[in-house]
Amino acid sequence: MGSATTHLIGLLLGAEEDWPTAFEALVRRLGVVRDPGGQEHSFATERVTIEPFNLRDTPRQDLVIDRLAHWYYHPREWLKKVALMDDVYLLNSPFTFQAMEKHSAYCALMRLGMHVPETVLVPYKHPVDNVRWAYTSARYNKAFDLDAVAESVGYPLFMKPFDGGAWRGVSMIRDRGDLHRAYDDSGEMLMHLQKAVDGFDVFARALTIGPETMVMNFRPDEPMHNRYAVSHDFLSPAVGAEVRTIAQTVNAFFRWEFNSCEMLVKDGVVYPIDYANACPDVAVTSLHYYFPWAMKALLKWSAFCLVTGRRARTQVDLDPWFVVADDPLLGYEARLVEYQRLADEHFDTVRYQEFCGSALPDVDEMVLEWVQSPDFDTLLASTVRSTYPAHEQEQFLAHFRGLLGMWVKDEDARLAR
Ligand SMILES: Nc1ncnc2c1ncn2[C@@H]1O[C@H](COP(=O)(O)OP(=O)(O)O)[C@@H](O)[C@H]1O
Ligand SMILES: [Mg+2]
């Protein structure tokens, strides 16, 4: 038995303070973890700062959780360097995240046989900023009938950017008037027209971290703090399993480790509509009741990857998926079984569960105790203070304390069983 190996987890962050503080606290509380061979492992965190880097520098970090590189490119190039040169494990890899935006994710899931609503990509409304555009456009951009395209998709429909994110440029289109207004406004954005899943029964949003998935009942029309409803049996067991499989398929297919997948369920059919969200919101003020689950999943998956020396696989391997997708003898349900098997294989799910049982036996109690601690309440109060105007703070603090109190009660009961 050697001395403990220390693993450094880097956090690449935007404006958020809440979940990083929570994650840092949990890493401190986790202490030493023993692997199956008896070797001891300890963990530390560090917030990654943006500074010049030599491409031959050796990074200190062994794993990086990223919520910044999707819009800030300097650290994104650093992530690529440390993935290619130094085997740093990334949640998520910019190679697959950058290349596989929303549009490619639609294509992939269509080929895998999922019920992605009918979707058409239309050319830019406004000229692209390039001296070659005038000639190319005059010669090759065919005039097209936007109304006919919309009719072929069918109203109502959604017009939204092909690379999506944060509801930017998304509009619901009910008729020709809406259609032309939205297209005129789209400017230099490249737009999909997608058939609306109109009057859906439920919006399921599945947050996945490694092999762990939480399927939540999402209400997009509510204000942020109220979008995730606390409800446990809002899907039948079969649909719940289907939603989970679709979310894990997306992630295993693209090698995403930390992503949220949006699906609409109508008359028992699951329609995936948005699942290239590989830097998902995990703020305590949005996830509330589900926040301890998310932090625990991040902690467990990071520990598993580091302690077992899991190798990052940055590139997508399409073949095994397409063998299943293209097999004419397999129906939808049989394919889902195969996709779940491939996802379990990719995430090493059985070994992960064994690891959690043997190396992290006390993590549930540890997180439960932490959520009840003054430490956690201080974090919640300061997050509320920095998120809401003064006159709303008291009300929101009580609201979130209530929801987290409910989680404590439920978790206590679960662990007692
Ligand atoms: N095909 C669709 N049917 C019904 N609602 C949709 C559809 N596409 C988008 N929406 C609604 O618009 C919202 C934003 O669209 P989405 O594709 O999720 O874009 P973003 O990537 O910006 O989040 C969704 O959360 C959903 O409420
Ligand atoms: Mg979305």
User: In sequence order, what DSSP letters do the residues of 79-104 get, joined into one string?
Assistant: HHHHHHHH--EEES-HHHHHHS-HHH
Ligand 1 within 6 A of CB of 192:
no
Q: How sure is the predictor about 99, in pLDDT bands with cuts at 50, 70 and 90?
A: low
Are the CB atoms for 343 and 248 separated by under 8 Å?
Answer: yes
CA of 105 to the centre of ligand 2 (A): 13
pTM of this prediction exceeds 0.85? yes
pLDDT in tens, 241-277: 999 999 999 999 999 999 999 999 999 999 999 998 8
Is residue 1 pLDDT above 60, yes or no? Answer: no
Mean pLDDT, the chain, as a whole number? 95
Q: Is 167 in the pocket of ligand 1 (CB under 6 A)?
A: yes
C-alpha torsion sign, points 248, 249, 255, 261: negative
Contact 368, 408 (CB under 8 A): yes
Nearest ligand, CA of residue 264? 1
Residue 379 in this model has a pLDDT that exceeds 60: yes
pLDDT category, 127, cuts 50, 70, 90? confident
SS3 57: coil
Cβ atoms of 314 and 255 within 8 Å: the answer is: yes
Q: How far is the CA of 96 from the centre of ligand 2 (A)?
A: 19
DSSP 125: S
- Residues 213 and 244 sit within 8 Å (Cβ to Cβ): yes
Superfamily of domain 118-195 in the CATH hierarchy = ATP-grasp fold, A domain (3.30.1490.20)
Mean pLDDT of 85-103: 86
Residue spans per domain, the chain: 5-98, 99-115+197-278+311-347, 118-195
Nearest-CA residue for atom 18 of ligand 1: 274
Residue 338 confidence class, pLDDT cut points 50, 70, 90: very high
Q: Is residue 194 in contact with ligand 1, taking CB distance under 6 Å? A: yes
Name the percent of the chain in helix, strand, coil, to the closest 5.
50, 20, 35
Q: Supply the pLDDT for residue 2.
A: 61
Mean pLDDT value across residues 296-316: 95
**Which residue lies with its CA nearest to atom 6 of ligand 1?**
196
The pLDDT-based confidence of 34 (bands split at 50, 70, 90) is very high
Percent of the chain clearing pLDDT 70 (strictly above):
99
Mutate to test the pocket of ligand 1, among 109, 160, 221, 279 (most ligand atoms within 8 A of CB): 160
- Model pLDDT for residues 134-166, shown as the tens digit of each residue: 999 999 899 999 999 999 999 999 999 998 888
Domain 99-115+197-278+311-347, classified CATH 3.30.565.10, yes or no:
no
